[in-house]
Amino acid sequence: MKNHSRRTFIKLAAASSAFLATGTTNALSTPTLLRKPIPKSGEFIPAIGMGTWITFNVGDNISLRDERTEVLRTFFDLGGGMIDSSPMYGSAEDVMGYSLAKLSNTQGMFSATKVWTSSKDEGRTQIDDSFRLWGLKKFDLFQVHNLLNWEDHLATLRERRAAGHIRYIGITTSHGSRHPEMARIMETQDIDFVQFTYNVEDRGAEDRLLPLAADKGIAVIINRPFQRGALIDRLEGKPLPAWASEYGITSWAQYLLKFIVSHPAVTCAIPATSKVEHMKENMNVLQTRLPDIKDRGRMLDYVQSL
Amino acid sequence: MDRLIPYSADVYGTIVSDHNLSVWPLQIFVLVLCLSVIGLARRGGANNVALMIVAIFWIWCGVHFHIMTYATINWAAQYFGYAFIIQGVSIAVWAIMTRTQFIEPQRRIWIWSGIGLIISAGALHPLLILIMSAPLTHAEIAGVMPTPTAALTIGILFLVPRRAALWLLIIPVAWSIWDGLSAWTLELSIGLVLPGMVIIAALGLIMSLMTPPNR
């Protein structure tokens, strides 16, 4: 796997944006979908993925599992890639394995999960459990959840990466208070991905983590894009600005996602949903224009004015 | 708090419904038992039977609801299950160890509080469900679901003619606080009623232990 410098990363990011703006084709299989590069390898992945926190934790109820399977089917049919889960999410990994087994089209899946335990040995068991629950022989990405015992788990993940069971490794947090610790890890450790919260209200990552990720060539996954629905609830009923249609935005969910993935350092956002209609809405972001830096400012100003 | 609740209100309702349906029509038998403990609790000797029934309810909730059902969506539920099993065993042990104790009858207010709580544990939640037009399969009753079992327990402790052990309140109150906070986080207003009653009743029980009995 190549280790790209910041200059190379910026070229890749610019290329992906230009590629989307012009709609020109290249070697990618779906030329009009918004994809962003993973700096460490140059691999492109769709900029909108899927989270499973709460939404896929449905226990043993078959009816609910089948509903989630339809959400996942829609995700893949619309060109989805990254699916993110964790042992912390209750039965989500088990339900994911159930749904994947039922689908014939999982092309383009970028599997991502986490290890979440304070014990190194328990971490090894958890990693094995994830392979079993998902029904996979290889994971694209394994992350240390909420930085819990990251020292031991990153070592374990590096072993598994060297053995070819995992392609990328990373760390995650959804707590703003952990950003300084995350930055220290980014500065000192060889990791491929980071995951943290960033949206129109939670913008602390702009100060340090996003620039640092760009500088270090670390891919960025954004969680909690809607603050677990609270952002959408607050904006629902308020009018979208007239210029939103220039970017193909027809809903607040799309507005919020476009703001996030238009940041040049962001690789992928992972909104979670249990509804097929919402999945279609989210995935529509892959098909349409991204705002540039100036327009991102305009998007922010408009939301703050409401 | 929302980071500790890895599921939605809809999914929680579904697993409660699945749990209730998996044991139906046991709820009818349990309801009869709940009402019978009112009479058993006030009778010498028979009040041990009432306490044993409650102890079995705790163990059953711990195993069948927490460990076998709730744990499918909440990793913490297996620990709740262990706590419920400990509570059940504790009640049984306390019942045996204090079986020869007898104190003067409680004041009427506490007796009626206990009776009211036991009836609520069996019937209040289903009534609220009907009023709010929610599915009846989401109803929680004592012996089958945790919070009404906690309410039943405190009701029994009001009635049995022996000095209640305050340490038996720890798990019912702790669970009710958790359940109330979960209901608050999930915006389930109906889920606040029983936990609130349990906490208030626990305070009432503590007060009852501080007031002298009737002569």
Q: Tell me the pLDDT tens digit for each residue of B3-43.
A: 778 999 999 999 999 999 999 999 999 988 888 888 787 77
| Residue bearing tokens 């709740």 | B80
Q: What is residue B7's three-state secondary structure?
A: coil
Written as six digits, the tokens of A50 are 């899927």
- Rg of chain A in Å (alpha carbons): 18
Triad A279, A281, A287: Cα angle to 5°: 110
The predicted model gives A13-33 an average pLDDT of 42
Asked if A143 and A113 touch (Cβ cutoff 8 Å), the reply is yes
Q: Give the whole-angstrom CA distance, residue A139 versus residue A134.
A: 9
Cβ–Cβ under 8 Å, residues B13 and A96: no
DSSP state of A260: H
The residue whose two tokens read 């986080």 is B185
> What pLDDT score does A19 carry?
39
pLDDT at B90: 96
User: What's the pLDDT at A27?
Assistant: 25
pLDDT of amino acid A101: 97
| Distance of alpha carbon B144 from alpha carbon B139, whole angstroms | 10
> What pLDDT does A18 receive?
39
Nearest to B55, CA basis, from B160, B199, B205, B203: B160
Q: Are A46 and A268 in contact (CB under 8 A)?
A: yes
The DSSP result for B98-146, as a single string, is TTT---PPPPHHHHHHHHHHHHHHHHHHHHHHHHTT--GGG---TTTSH
C-alpha distances in angstroms, B173 versus B157, B160, B204? 14, 19, 12
Nearest chain A Cα to B19, which residue?
A61
Q: Give the closest-approach CA distance of B124 to chain A in angstroms.
A: 27
Q: What's residue B72's pLDDT?
A: 94
| Structure tokens given for A4 | 């790209």
Cis amide prior to B25 (ω within 30 degrees) = yes
Cα–Cα distance for residue pair B196/B201, rounded to 1 Å: 8
Alpha-helical segments (H) within A109-267:
120-134, 150-162, 179-188, 209-216, 230-235, 252-261
Higher pLDDT among residues A93 and A176, named by residue? A93
Which residue among B3, B11, B18 places its CB closest to the CB of A57? B11
Mean pLDDT of A47-61: 97
Residues A10, A281, A231, A213, Cα dihedral to 10°: -20
**B78-105 CB burial, b ≥16 within 10 A, e <16:** eebbebbbebbebbbebbeebeeeeeee
**Inter-chain contacts counted by CB atoms under 8 A, chains A and B:** 44
pLDDT score for B39: 79
A-chain residues near B8 (CB < 8 A): 54-55, 274
Encode pLDDT of B102-143 as tens digits: 666 667 888 888 888 888 888 887 888 888 888 889 888 899
pTM of the model: 0.88
* pLDDT more than 70, % of chain A: 90
Contacts of A197 in chain B (CB under 8 A): none
Q: Would the CB atoms of B11 and A64 count as touching at under 8 Å?
A: yes
Confidence of residue A243 (pLDDT cuts 50, 70, 90): very high
The predicted model gives A172-179 an average pLDDT of 92
Provide CB contacts within 8 A for B170, sequence distance 6+. none
pLDDT: is B211 or B157 the higher one? B157
Distance from CA of B78 to the nearest CA of A (A): 12
Is residue A281 scored above 80 in pLDDT? yes
How far apart CA A195 and CA A116 sit, in angstroms, is 14
ipTM rounded to 2 decimals: 0.86
Which among B2, B14, B74 has the least Cβ separation from residue A90? B74
Nearest CA in chain B to A274: B8
Buried/exposed B50-76: b ≥16 CB within 10 Å, e otherwise: bbbbbbebbbbbbbbbbbbbbbbbbee
- How far apart are the CA of B112 and the nearest CA of chain A, in angstroms? 40
What percentage of chain B exceeds 70 in pLDDT? Answer: 93
